Amino acid sequence: MNELYELTPYLVLAISALASTVAVYLAIIEKDLIKAVLYSAIQSTFYALIFYLLMVPDIVLVYIPVSVGLLPAIIIVAIKKTERYEDVAGIPKSSSITILSLVVAFTFIAGYLLVLSHAITLDVFPSADARVLAKWFLNTTLWWNKMFSAMSPEAVTAIVWDYRGLDTYFETSVMYLAIIGALALARYFEIPKKEYREEVMGMSIIGKTATRIVVPMILVVAISIALHGHLTPGGGFQGGVTAAVTVSLLIFIFSTYFAIRFFKINTAILLRIAGLIGIALSAVITAIIAFSTGQQAYIFQNQPKVIAQIGLPYEVGGNLISGTLFLFNVFEFLAVFMGFAILFLLLSIPEEVIREVIRGEME
């Protein structure tokens, strides 16, 4: 029998899941879209707590900026540019009863499947044992034998950029394509040329002063998350989305015309391309070294392998840098940060400018 106080994390897990269900239900049946966004933000904070208690801090670090910060911001901008209320004229009044009956039915199915899985495997669902693959990854992530190891104490970053590096490369290119799609939709729009004036534009003086103090601190936190990605929870993705908050704060608190002093769209695209080229180069850097010295190598090779003896140094001056993982984190930080900077700058273009452009295209 467990002691009662050992149940606390599991209890918090169950309570936050139930609270998130209430928030999701209200977010779906709410007619006011702004309130729906806020309810989904409540759901996101509870999901962050669930991820935290499932002991995956890497996911929490990337999930909080994305789902609590960036996604509500973008949907709020979209609602401000379009309409606020949903038209529910045709939907039957009994929709909440429909949802409840659906939920009850499918929940019974889920519970039945869970019990079935217990009965088949003769084991309870959160098993005490890990899979063989997981044990292999955990065993070799920082090991005395460099042939099979990534030489990084963080297993998640090791999997993302070493063991399964090619997957991550193609997933990064999917993200690149999505941003290219957004750029193509906004191809003729330009930020109007206006001077930033302190007293007319932006929010109150208190907000501006506090943001001036806080933005460098946020950048420092983001860069430290990115550069320590091979030692502590974090990495390029997490640092990039954390740094993207600075762009959104500059745009919302000061103005677009203040933000483009630091981030012009073309500069951001150039830096983003530099980051992507850096990722590609880091993927083949061992191959380049090997071919120039007449040896063999793999793509996405980090440490020396059996038939490919070239590898990057895993520590410099006693500090662990884990070979290519460090380079990947730096370049991924640049690519993600600048990608979201581009999207925010595009979203902040005034609607009149865009409408004039579209009217010109139609005629």
Residues 154-193 that bind other proteins (CB under 8 A): 154-156, 158-160, 164, 167-168, 171-172, 174-175, 178-179, 181-182, 185-186, 191
Four-CA torsion 325, 330, 335, 340, nearest 10 degrees = 120
> At closest approach, how far in Å is the CB of 309 from other proteins?
23
- Is 226 a binding residue for other proteins by CB under 8 A? The answer is no
> At closest approach, how far in Å is the CB of 299 from other proteins?
18
Q: Which of 93, 126, 187, 294 binds other proteins (CB under 8 A)?
A: 126
- Is 213 a binding residue for other proteins by CB under 8 A? The answer is yes
**Number of residues this chain uses to bind other proteins (CB under 8 A):** 172
Question: Which of these segments, 24-32, 280-288, 291-299, 302-310, binds other proteins (CB under 8 A)?
Answer: 24-32
- Is 215 a binding residue for other proteins by CB under 8 A? The answer is no
- Is 53 a binding residue for other proteins by CB under 8 A? The answer is yes
Pull the structure tokens for residue 359.
């009217």
Phi, psi of 151 (to 5 degrees): 55, 45
- Is 289 a binding residue for other proteins by CB under 8 A? The answer is no
Q: Which is nearer to other proteins, 106 or 291 (CB)?
A: 106
CB-neighbour burial class of residue 56 (10 A; exposed 0-12, middle 13-18, buried 19+): middle
Q: Which of 93, 120, 145, 206 binds other proteins (CB under 8 A)?
A: 206
- Is 121 a binding residue for other proteins by CB under 8 A? The answer is no
Question: Which of these segments, 92-100, 267-275, 291-299, 302-310, binds other proteins (CB under 8 A)?
Answer: 92-100
Around Cβ 246, how many Cβ atoms within 10 Å?
Answer: 22
Q: Which of 193, 195, 199, 204 binds other proteins (CB under 8 A)?
A: 204
Longest dimension (CA), the chain: 77
- Is 79 a binding residue for other proteins by CB under 8 A? The answer is yes
**The dihedral of CA 171, 172, 176, 178: what is its sign?**
positive
User: What distance in Å separates the CA atoms of residue 78 and residue 28, rounded to the nearest whole number?
Assistant: 18
Pull the structure tokens for residue 126.
């959160």
- Is 142 a binding residue for other proteins by CB under 8 A? The answer is yes
Q: Which of 110, 166, 277, 299 binds other proteins (CB under 8 A)?
A: 110
Question: Which of these segments, 13-21, 264-272, 274-282, 296-304, binds other proteins (CB under 8 A)?
Answer: 13-21
- Is 303 a binding residue for other proteins by CB under 8 A? The answer is no
> At closest approach, how far in Å is the CB of 107 from other proteins?
6
Q: Which of 265, 322, 343, 363 binds other proteins (CB under 8 A)?
A: 343
Question: Which of these segments, 109-117, 262-270, 281-289, 306-314, binds other proteins (CB under 8 A)?
Answer: 109-117
Nearest to 162 by CA among 2, 31, 290, 328: 328
SS3 316: strand
CB-based contact 262:250 (threshold 8 Å): yes
- Is 114 a binding residue for other proteins by CB under 8 A? The answer is yes
User: What distance in Å separates the CA atoms of residue 132 and residue 145, rounded to the nearest whole number?
Assistant: 19
Nearest to 69 by CA among 241, 213, 229, 276: 241
SS3 151: coil
User: What distance in Å separates the CA atoms of residue 150 and residue 31, rounded to the nearest whole number?
Assistant: 51
Identify the residue whose tokens are 């929490």: 60
Interface positions, 313-332, toward other proteins (CB under 8 A): 320
User: What distance in Å separates the CA atoms of residue 339 and residue 273, rounded to the nearest whole number?
Assistant: 10
Interface positions, 229-288, toward other proteins (CB under 8 A): 232-235, 237, 241-242, 245, 248-249, 251-253, 255-257
CB-based contact 161:328 (threshold 8 Å): yes
Q: Which of 128, 306, 307, 316 binds other proteins (CB under 8 A)?
A: 128
